[in-house]
Amino acid sequence: MEKITIKNGYGEKLAGNLYYHYNSDTLFIISHGFMGSKNSRFMSNLSENLYNGLGVSVFAFDFSGNGESEGVFGNAGILKEKDDLCSVINFFRNFKNIILVGHSMGAAVSLLSANCYKNIKGLVLHSGLVFPLLSFKSSILKLNPIVVISKRRDDFLKDLNNYEKSVKNFFVKRLVDNTNHAIRRILKKTTLNKSFFEEATKVDLINKVKSVHKPLLIIHGSRDEIIPKNHAEYLFRHANNPKKMVILNSIHEPILIKDIKEASDEVIKWYKKTF
């Protein structure tokens, strides 16, 4: 595995892990979900399973503002992440065949990017969503309870500053200062800006899936409490053939090795049968 960086359209460096297979002209590009990472248990094991199981090259990367990539987390809306993915696809444009694999928000981004280049031959959507704005608003606190919206952050920081000024005792003040410093570092990495939600209103994934005429595999967990499986069923209903949907007995992002292997095996079987 080789660590490489790719610049997006904003000049930010996107960090990625490349599993390069010398005897293959096919590349799988894997996109993580909201607040995810290429190095998560699911992403890293999925990458290795596809690399070893298919003998193809695999590239998993962090969207801007996430993981080891440059950029501001709060600015990483769905359309900006689409630009990130298209920059990655452009970087690897010499591969004859590219398969996009996306998880959760990364699945939506992969779907939006499916027609970026002619050498994108197929699409795998794992735990994908249909209505971004509704999904973000309803599931964002389930995903990570410390995520805050920029206006709430500003109000919260104002309260912190006022409390700091009111503390007189030296030792208590020092404790408060240290605690508030840690809170500010967390907020910097978990604050969503208004643009995040504005971009979600501009996305129509149903019309998008109708415009994609490439082999499609949809995978979803029956125990997914973040994005219910009816999202997968709705996407599948509107997708063009050839298409396949698999519902697994798993959660939103599989963490057990057996569940990750099951999802990987479904991708491997689909690819071997389709291509």
Can you give the residue ranges of every domain in the chain?
2-131+204-274, 138-192
174 CB burial (10 A radius; 0-12, 13-18, 19+): exposed
Q: Among 47-51, 77-81, 112-116, 162-166, which stretch is predicted with the lowest mean pLDDT?
A: 162-166
Write the CA distances from 124 to 58, 101, 106, 245, integer angstroms. Answer: 14, 5, 10, 10
Q: What phi and psi values does residue 255 have, to the nearest 5 degrees?
A: -120, -20
Compute the mean pLDDT over every residue in the chain, rounded to the nearest whole number.
84
pLDDT at 242 over 60: yes
- Residue 200: what pLDDT? 75
User: What CATH fold (topology level) applies to the domain 2-131+204-274?
Assistant: Rossmann fold (3.40.50)
Which of 42, 20, 10, 17 has its CA nearest to residue 257?
42
pLDDT at 220 over 90: yes
- Residue 56: what pLDDT? 98
- Please give the model's pTM, rounded to 2 decimal places: 0.82
For the segment 179-202, the average pLDDT, to the nearest whole number, is 61
- Residue 195: what pLDDT? 72
Residue spans of alpha helices (H) in 167-225: 170-190, 194-201, 205-211
Which of 75, 58, 57 has its CA nearest to residue 66?
75
Q: Rounded to whole angstroms, how far apart are CA atoms 180 and 35?
A: 23
- Residue 15: what pLDDT? 98
Q: Rounded to whole angstroms, how far apart are CA atoms 240 and 216?
A: 8
Which of 228, 213, 250 has its CA nearest to residue 131?
228
pLDDT at 144 over 70: no
Which of 257, 254, 37 has its CA nearest to residue 127?
254
For the segment 216-228, the average pLDDT, to the nearest whole number, is 93
- In tens, the pLDDT along 63-101 reads 999 999 999 887 778 999 999 999 999 999 999 999 999
Would you state the structure tokens that stand for residue 225, as one six-digit string?
């409490």
pLDDT at 156 over 70: no
Q: Which residues contact 167 (CB under 8 A, 6 or more apart)?
A: 173, 176
Which of 10, 20, 160, 3 has its CA nearest to residue 67?
3
Which of 100, 145, 102 has its CA nearest to residue 127?
102
